[in-house]
Amino acid sequence: MTPSLGFGIDIGGSGVKGAPVDLTTGALTAERLRLPTPSPSKPQPVAETVAELVAAFDLPADLPLGLTFPAPIKHNVVGFIANLHKSWKGVDVDELFTEAIGRDVVAVNDADAAGVAEAAFGAARGVPGVVIVTTLGTGIGSALLVDGTLVPNTELGHLEIDGHDAERRASSGVREAEDLSWREWADRLQRFYETVEMLFSPDLLVVGGGVSRKHEKFLPLLRTKAPIVPAELRNSAGIVGAAYLAAQTDG
């Protein structure tokens, strides 16, 4: 049986966030704690920050613990890394974090976790067919779900479009860095989503990441074939999805 409580940790470029999660509703059962991501964001200091965060909660020993990471993770190993310190490439995250925290942990890609959370509790709940959840932040993350089942590590933010790595043109971080207007940014997003649609013919596109709070500024400017909707879990999607996936892995 799947446990009813889990703990999720979301590792990002600027913050490491964690909270306990009610796995029947997808709600956080305590306020989320945020610690700054160490700089430089090398494996050992990040693992220590994660351990400090977990220690701040009084967690039962057998509570499923999931962790998101901003990179593809195949058989627990970081494939490549775009937005944290380069020394993460090739690291066995399961080994690193399990040792630092002193308990079992399940590590998954951050956008995959968000996608699973949206499919279980949010905008993609019960949606059949092909759903693509994208997270717009420092980078662009993607989760591909087919009838609710995740196809992991799709990395659509690194599609090469018009000769550019997609996230280097169209992430929310780039919008801020280049001070783009919503219209200018939407034009870049349009190229991204039309390429994604051409390749995958999704039934639904879900847009997450912090900027999805302001979805009314840019989603209406996009012309997609499939409906495109804001994520519902917003900033807690990674935490919720990580806890959910950890519980499934344990059980």
Peptide bond into 128 cis (omega under 30): no
Minimum gap (Å) between residue 249 Cβ and ligand BGC? 19
CB 165 within 8 A of CB 158: yes
Minimum gap (Å) between residue 139 Cβ and ligand BGC? 3
Nearer to ligand BGC, 3 or 38 (CB): 38
Instruction: Quote helix, strand, coil % in the chain, to nearest 5.
Output: 40, 25, 35
Minimum gap (Å) between residue 55 Cβ and ligand BGC? 25
* 192: enclosing H helix or E strand: helix 182-200
Minimum gap (Å) between residue 89 Cβ and ligand BGC? 11
Parallel, antiparallel, or unpaired: how do β-strands 73-74 and 77-78 relate? Answer: antiparallel
Nearer to ligand BGC, 141 or 202 (CB): 141
d(CA 209, CA 231): 8
Q: Which residues pair with 8 in a beta bridge?
A: 19, 66
Nearer to ligand BGC, 63 or 137 (CB): 137
> Which DSSP symbol is given to 37?
P
Residues at the site binding ligand BGC, with contacts judged by CB under 6 A: 70-72, 82-83, 109-111, 135, 137, 139, 141, 155, 157-158, 167
Minimum gap (Å) between residue 140 Cβ and ligand BGC? 6
Nearer to ligand BGC, 103 or 234 (CB): 234
Nearer to ligand BGC, 14 or 44 (CB): 14
Q: Which residues pair with 131 in a beta bridge?
A: 145, 204
